[in-house]
Amino acid sequence: METKDCILSRRSIRTYSDKEISNETIEEIVRTAQFAPSWKNSQTVSYVAIKDEKLKSEIAQNCVCGFEWNTNIINRSKVLMVQITANGISGYNPDGTPTTAKGSHWQSFDAGLNAQTLCLAAFNLGIGSVILGIIDEPEIKKLLNLGDEYSISTLIPLGYYEDVPQAPTRKPLSEVLTIM
C-alpha cells in the first residue's frame, strides 16, 4: 500500500474476522513500529501481545473503567497489544532531571508515535486496530506484574478486518493550518 493511501484509509476498527493473527505477523508489525522516532532514540516503548483468551477477557472485564464499549472491542479482538513505556527516560537527562519544562510529556509523545506506526503497519497487512484511552492502568499493571518503572500508555486490540468504516469528518484545513 502507498504511504498516503495507508494513512488516509486507516480507520479505528472495532470488529474483526475470525482469522487468527500469527506470531510472525505480530512480530512483523512490532518490528515496523520500532522504526517510529523517539526521544534521542531512547526507544522506551515495548509491547505485550496477549492472545490468551482468559487474560484478554479479564482485561476486557476489569481494566476499562467500566466502559462496556471497550470491553466488547477487546473481547472481539484476536490479539490485545498492551503498550508499555519505561518511565523517566524520554524527556529526561541521564541524571534524572527533566530536559525541558514539559517533563514527562515526551514519554507519551513517543508512545503516540509508536502506536500510530503500529496501527499503520497492521492496516497495511489487513489488520484493524484501535487505540484505547479509557483503560485502568493500575489494574493492568497489577495483572501483568509491572512495577513503578513502567507505565501502560494504551491498549490496542487487533484483528483482521472485513469492513473498513467511513472516515469520521475532519476539520477544514483552514482551521488546522496557518502558513505565515
Ligand X SMILES: Cc1cc2nc3c(=O)[nH]c(=O)nc-3n(C[C@H](O)[C@H](O)[C@H](O)COP(=O)(O)O)c2cc1C
Residues near ligand X (CB under 6 A): 11-12, 14, 69-70, 73, 130-134, 167-168
Query: Shortest gap between Cβ of 24 and ligand X (angstroms)?
Result: 26
- Least separation, in Å, of the C-beta of 89 and ligand X? 21
Cα(166)–Cα(159) distance, rounded to whole angstroms? 18
Q: Which of 80, 86, 84 is nearest to 49 (CA)?
A: 80
User: Residue 81 is placed in which grid cell?
Assistant: 497489544
Nearer to ligand X, 118 or 132 (CB): 132
Complex with ligand X: residue 73 or 89, whichever CB lies closer = 73
Question: What are the grid coordinates assigned to 12, written together?
Answer: 479505528
Closer Cβ to ligand X, 70 or 114, answer by number? 70
Q: Which is nearer to ligand X, 40 or 105 (CB)?
A: 105
Q: How far is the CB of 135 from ligand X (least distance, A)?
A: 7
Position of minimal CB gap to ligand X? 133
Which residue, 168 or 172, is less far from ligand X as judged by CB?
A: 168
Beta-bridge partners for 150: 86
Smallest separation, CB 123 to ligand X (Å): 10
| Distance in Å, CB of 133 to ligand X, minimum | 3
